[in-house]
């Protein structure tokens, strides 16, 4: 039995955006940083900090991210977390050449599957895939779900500036819809043609750049007609949807206005409103946003069945966070949905 349930709590606490990295991938990142081969200023900014930094925070994050065993479980117990959903951290394999990315994604899926098999009550996981090779990514997703029993895929947003609104990536969506598993879109640092003013001001990462980049990605997915083409596709976004729930009214109004005036050739009529897709195809985790007003607002506009708990471990490991979440003005039934049953429903746990 997982730690928290033994205390008589009528629900389990499942954290749904918890990062890990394989030793092989970290070593590759470190090599790319040292030899300057990434050609990506966002990656260099993020991973020169977490991959090579020697501050106490950087070392702790790095060591915790590598561990998918006892140390991680001890941290979960200290915070009152019963289960983690493991996601290969950003940018995953998406900065690599296609052949290397395909190989490393499969190896990381084998590794995380072994951790889940060893601790089935404490861990579940999403598959890493290589979007830069869409058909291979779809094939790996099928293998990961059917053979390794992983619960969907994580895509760390853009792949060298290429976004999933491009139809060349849609075999991945077709596979996810067919397998009835979700795709978790995790932020990446903005690509070169977006990052300039953010990087110059130290705002390229989680403080704001992640939200700018990933929030735009969700919008491009919706406006390109992905959910019209794949109406049963489920996607999950962290950080309470990168702020987009706050914009629901304006997104509907301005999208309708711009389509009607034919201002942009790329914006075509959709079968539903932007807010409909956000309420019917998208789920939202609280990773990095352990803030009651924002959580309660998001629940009120997208639905209480759409919002799931996540801690954003180990980047934002705060052991007192769960206690703060427990103080939200929710009934036990609502808390069970927030901490447990919504995650079980989305990820088929």
The active-site residue, picked from 75, 121, 312, 332, is 312
Is 165 one of the annotated active-site residues of the chain?
A: no
Residues forming a β-bridge with 236: 184, 283
Q: What is the 3-state secondary structure (H, E, C) of 143-166?
A: HHHHCCCCCCEEECCCECCECCCC
Residues 178 and 234 sit within 8 Å (Cβ to Cβ): no
DSSP-based helix, strand, coil % in the chain, nearest 5? 55, 10, 35
- List Cβ neighbours of 227 (8 Å cut-off, separation of 6 or more): 221, 233, 272, 277, 280, 281
What kind and span of H or E run contains 20? Answer: strand 14-20
Instruction: Decide: helix, strand or coil at residue 136.
Output: helix
Q: Indicate the pairing of strand 123-125 with strand 127-128.
A: unpaired
The catalytic residue positions are: 312
């Amino acid at each position: 039995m997982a730690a928290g349930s033994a205390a008589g709590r009528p629900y389990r606490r499942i954290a749904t955006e918890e990062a890990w990295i394989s030793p092989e991938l970290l070593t590759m990142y470190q090599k790319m940083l040292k030899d300057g081969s990434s050609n990506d200023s966002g990656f260099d900014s993020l991973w020169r900090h977490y991959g090579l930094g020697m501050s106490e925070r950087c070392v702790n994050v790095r060591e915790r991210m590598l561990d998918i065993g006892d140390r991680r479980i001890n941290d979960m117990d200290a915070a009152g977390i019963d289960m983690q959903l493991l996601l290969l951290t950003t940018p995953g394999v998406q900065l690599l050449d296609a052949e290397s990315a395909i190989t490393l994604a499969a190896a990381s899926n084998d590794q995380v599957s072994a951790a889940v098999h060893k601790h089935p009550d404490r861990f579940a996981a999403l598959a890493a895939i290589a979007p830069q090779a869409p058909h291979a990514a779809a094939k790996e997703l099928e293998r990961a779900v059917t053979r390794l029993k992983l619960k969907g895929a994580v895509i760390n947003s853009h792949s060298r500036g290429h976004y999933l609104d491009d139809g060349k990536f849609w075999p991945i969506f077709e596979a996810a819809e067919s397998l009835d598993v979700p795709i978790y879109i995790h932020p990446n640092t903005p690509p070169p043609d977006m990052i300039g003013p953010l990087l110059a001001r130290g705002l390229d990462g989680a403080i704001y750049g992640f939200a700018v980049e990933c929030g735009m990605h969700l919008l491009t997915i919706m406006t390109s007609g992905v959910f019209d083409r794949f109406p049963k596709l489920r996607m999950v976004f962290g950080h309470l949807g990168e702020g987009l729930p706050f914009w629901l009214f304006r997104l509907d109004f301005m999208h309708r206005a711009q389509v009607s005036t034919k201002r942009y050739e790329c914006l075509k009529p959709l079968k539903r409103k932007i807010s409909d897709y956000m309420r019917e195809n998208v789920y939202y985790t609280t990773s990095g946003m352990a803030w009651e007003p924002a959580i309660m607002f998001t629940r009120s506009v997208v639905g209480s069945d759409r919002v799931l708990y996540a801690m954003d471990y180990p980047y934002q490991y705060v052991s007192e966070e769960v206690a703060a979440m427990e103080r939200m003005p929710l009934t036990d039934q609502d808390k069970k949905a927030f901490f447990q049953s919504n995650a079980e429903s989305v990820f088929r746990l």
